[in-house]
Amino acid sequence: MAFSAANCFAESIFSIMNHEIKSNSSRSWMQTVADTQLPITVIHGQYPGPVLTLTAGIHGDEFPAIFALQKLRQAIHPDRLHGTLVIVHLANLEGFHGRRVALSPVDEKNLNRIFPGHVDGTLTEQVAYFMTHQIISKTDYLIDIHSGSWNETLLPHVYSPVMNKHALDKKTLAFAKSLGVPHIVLYDERPHDPEHSISYPNTAQTRGKPALTLEVGQLGQSEEQDIEQIYQASMRAMRYLAMYDLGQQDNPDAISSHVALYRKLVDVQSPFTGIFRPYTQVGEQVKQGQAIGQVSDYFGNVMTTLYAPVTGTVLMQKQTPPIRKGESTTDIAISH
C-alpha cells in the first residue's frame, strides 16, 4: 500500500499562486503582490509528506534568516524530500531596501501587526492578505524567522503560541522543542479571532496550524553563527516532521536535552525620552527590584533608574542609547 501511495504521489502536482510544481522538482520566482514582489521557492518532494513554510524578512531589517534560507534552498534535494517545502525568502522587500526597523516605508505599517490583511488595503495590508490566503492556506506547519534590529540584543528563543486548545497547543510545543533552541516562550497574548489575528504565525494558529516564531540574531547583523543556527533549526524541524532523508554529512547537531519554558514576558518601559544605558545583558538572571538600567538627559543627568519588576531571564534588551518615553528597554521572561 505504501509503495502504491508513493507511486501516486510521484505524479502529484503542488499548485500555489498559479504555479504548478511537479513532484521531485523545485521552482523559484519573484511573486508580484500589488506593487511589490516576494521571492519564493517551492521544493516539491518525491514522496508524500506535510507542507512546511519557512519565512524570512517579515521585518526587512532582520537579516540572518534571509541567508539561512538561501543556504537551505541549495541544500534540500527534492528526490530526498517527503512533502513540500515553501520558502518565502523576503516578505517585506520595501522595508528591506528602505533599511527600516519593522515598518514599510510605503505606508509606515508593520507587516507582523496587520494580519489577516485586506485585499484592497495599503501595500502592507495587501501583502498580509496574500500571505494569509496564498501561503498559510497551503501550509501544514509554519516558522516565521526573526532577529534583533540594529538597536536590540536578544537571547535566541522560540515563541510557541498558546491558543488554549489542548491538541493544537501540544502539537505546537512539540514542534517548538524540535528546533533545538533551549529557550521557549509559551506566548498566549495574541487574539483567537481569525479575522483579527494580528501577526503572521498567529494567523496560522487561528486556522488550526502549528506556527512558531524563531528569534536568532541581533543588532541588525548577519553573523555566520546566527545563520548556521537558523539553518540547523530548520533542518531539525524537517527531521522532526519526517520530511527529509538526512545523510551523515547534513545531520543537524544533537538537540540539547534542557529546554527552559517561559510563561510570560514583562517589558520594562522608559518613563522619559533620553539616553538609555543598560546594566544587564541578555541571558542574565535578574531578581525583582534589581537595577537593570538608567535613563539620563542629553547633558548626562540621570532622570531615572530602572528596576526589574519581576524575577526572570533577560530575553531582549535595547543596546543603543536612544530611548523614547513608553518604549521598552528590557524584556524579562518569567519561568513556567
Residue 252: pLDDT band by 50, 70, 90 thresholds?
Answer: low
pLDDT at site 145: 98
The tens digit of pLDDT for each residue in 98-143 reads 999 899 999 999 999 999 999 999 999 999 999 999 999 999 999 9
Nearest to 175 by CA among 199, 154, 201: 201
Name which of 113, 140, 130, 110 is nearest 237 in CA terms: 140
Q: What is the reported pTM?
A: 0.94
For the segment 254-280, the average pLDDT, to the nearest whole number, is 90
Q: Give, as one character, the DSSP assignment of residue 283.
A: T
Give SS3 for 286.
strand
Beta bridge partners, 295, equal: 276, 304
Quote the distance between the C-alpha of residue 241 and its chain's center.
Answer: 18
Residue-range domain boundaries for the chain:
2-240, 266-335
Q: How far apart are CA 293 and CA 280, in angstroms?
A: 7
What is the average pLDDT value for the chain, to the nearest integer? 93
What's the pLDDT band for 246 if we cut at 50, 70, 90?
low
**Calpha distance 172→164 (Å, rounded):** 11
For the chain, what is the radius of gyration of the CA atoms? 21
**CATH class in words for 2-240:** alpha beta
Q: Is residue 125 within 8 Å of 109, Cβ to Cβ?
A: yes
Helix extents (H) in the chain:
2-10, 64-75, 93-97, 123-130, 166-178, 200-205, 224-240
What does the pLDDT average to over 305-322?
98
> What value does the mean pLDDT take over residues 41-70?
97
CATH code given to domain 266-335: 2.40.50.100
Average pLDDT over residues 51-80: 97
Q: How confident is the model at residue 4 (pLDDT cuts 50, 70, 90)?
A: very low
CB 128 within 8 A of CB 116: yes
Task: Tell me, letter by letter, the H, E, C secondary structure of 27-76.
Answer: EEEEEEECCEEEEEEEEECCEEEEEEEEECCCCCCCCHHHHHHHHHHHHC
Taking residues 297-304, what's their average pLDDT? 98
pLDDT at 6 over 60: no
Q: What is the DSSP letter of 115?
A: B
pLDDT at residue 8 is higher than 80: no
More confident residue, 214 or 188: 214
**77 half-sphere exposure, CB direction, 13 A CA radius:** 6
Closest CA to 82 of 41, 42, 44, 49: 49
